[in-house]
Structure formats: structure tokens, C-alpha cells
């Protein structure tokens, strides 16, 4: 596992420690983290603050997102995939998609390269959270 996914996992763990949903994300370009974020829907009482959106907000205006790579501990949902496509992020690396399939096909249909690392650490983090908080998880994914 590379340092960027480790940084995304650290964000997810921080979110969990804050009482939130353990999903983390980092935006990387040229070997540097431009932004980092975590799902803050619970902490901020804001349905839009998914990890990837929080990450992009924290990256701020960076001009072109070309050559940037978005790392996320979980396959991005349609909201976050829409932001990826809208801003022209070329590559998404997900920690896992077993607990949530996300919008991989949507991103790929728009030319985004998507890699699923299928990491046990990411899957276990989500499985433990979902088992302990099924209603909160259902709310997060819109069920």
C-alpha cells in the first residue's frame, strides 16, 4: 500500500474517532498531497460533506485537476464521481468496493481510470462500522 492510500486511511480513522463515517480521501499531484478530507456528514450535519467533497474543498482552487489522482478508502458514490468527472480528475484509486460498489462504471464511461485495490484494511473498517451503525450507513448511501 502506498503512502497516499495510508493518508486516506488515516483520514477515515480520524473521521471515525470524531463519531463520523470512516471514509477518507486525498488528492495527489506531482508527489504531493493537495488536499485531504473525510466524510463529515455527521460531524457537520451536512449531507454533502462526503470524504471526496471535503478533500476537494480543502484542496481549494488549484486550476487544472489534470494529472491529479484522487485516493479514497471506498469507491466513490455518484455525487463524488460527478465531481471527479466535472473537474477532469483523470485517475481514482479506491481502497475497496466490496461494501459499496459506488459509481465506477459512471467514472469509467467518462474516461476516468479507476483502480480498486481491494484492501482488507478498508473493507474491515467499513464492515465494522456498518455492523455497529446500520441506520447511519443506510442514511449515508441514501437508502
For the chain, the maximum distance between any two Cα atoms, rounded to a whole number of angstroms, is: 40
Round to whole Å and give the CA distance between 67 and 50: 22
Distance (Å, rounded) from C-alpha 71 to C-alpha 28?
8
Catalytic residue among 52, 90, 108, 143: 52
Residue ranges of the alpha helices (H) in the chain?
A: 3-17, 41-44, 51-59, 78-87, 104-109, 120-132, 134-140
Whether 139 sits among the annotated catalytic residues: the reply is no
- Please identify every residue annotated as catalytic: 52
Amino acid at each position: 500500500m502506498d503512502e497516499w492510500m495510508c493518508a486516506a486511511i488515516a483520514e477515515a480513522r480520524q473521521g471515525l474517532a470524531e463519531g463520523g463515517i470512516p471514509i477518507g480521501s486525498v488528492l495527489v499531484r506531482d508527489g504531493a498531497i493537495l488536499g485531504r478530507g473525510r466524510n463529515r456528514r455527521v460531524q457537520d450535519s451536512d449531507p454533502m460533506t462526503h470524504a471526496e467533497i471535503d478533500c476537494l474543498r480543502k484542496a481549494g482552487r488549484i486550476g487544472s485537476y489534470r494529472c491529479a489522482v484522487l485516493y479514497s478508502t471506498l469507491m466513490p458514490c455518484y455525487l463524488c464521481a460527478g465531481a471527479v468527472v466535472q473537474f477532469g480528475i483523470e485517475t481514482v484509486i479506491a481502497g475497496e468496493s466490496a461494501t459499496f460498489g459506488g459509481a465506477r462504471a459512471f467514472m469509467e464511461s467518462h474516461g476516468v481510470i479507476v483502480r480498486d485495490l481491494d484492501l482488507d484494511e478498508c473493507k474491515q473498517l467499513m464492515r465494522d462500522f456498518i455492523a455497529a451503525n446500520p441506520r447511519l450507513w443506510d442514511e449515508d448511501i441514501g437508502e
